[in-house]
């Protein structure tokens, strides 16, 4: 049961369309603050891992690119250093 709860919580943090998991105290707006922090954390992890892409594209475009990536790909591991392994492949398909 705790695994399902943990999965629901992680899913809700990375998917804005997911329902807020049961047991969360506070408003939806308050939970959105956590969602935003997770999104920015993932985007910053990509910026740290791909500084040349950031320099070449500029911050505004990179943020849009990273945001699109984080919407499509969730972390497969709790180790942020591993996040974005397929970012280069994603860039090739990004319009």
**Whether the predicted pLDDT of 4 surpasses 80:** no
pTM to 2 decimal places:
0.81
Cα–Cα nearest to 71, from 90, 48, 47: 90
CA atoms of 18 and 31, how far apart (whole Å): 12
Which pLDDT tens digit goes with each residue over 19-48? 887 777 777 778 888 888 999 999 999 999
Cβ-defined contacts of 20-25 (< 8 Å, 24+):
none
Which pLDDT tens digit goes with each residue over 8-27? 777 778 777 788 877 777 77
């Amino acid at each position: 049961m705790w695994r399902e709860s943990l999965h629901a919580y992680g899913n809700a943090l990375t998917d804005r369309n997911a329902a807020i998991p049961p047991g969360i105290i506070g408003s939806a707006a308050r939970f959105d603050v956590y969602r935003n922090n997770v999104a920015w954390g993932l985007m910053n992890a990509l910026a740290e891992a791909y500084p040349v892409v950031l320099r070449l594209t500029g911050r505004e475009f990179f943020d849009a690119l990273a945001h699109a990536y984080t919407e499509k790909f969730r972390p497969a591991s709790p180790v942020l250093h591993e996040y974005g392994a397929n970012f280069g492949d994603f860039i090739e398909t990004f319009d």
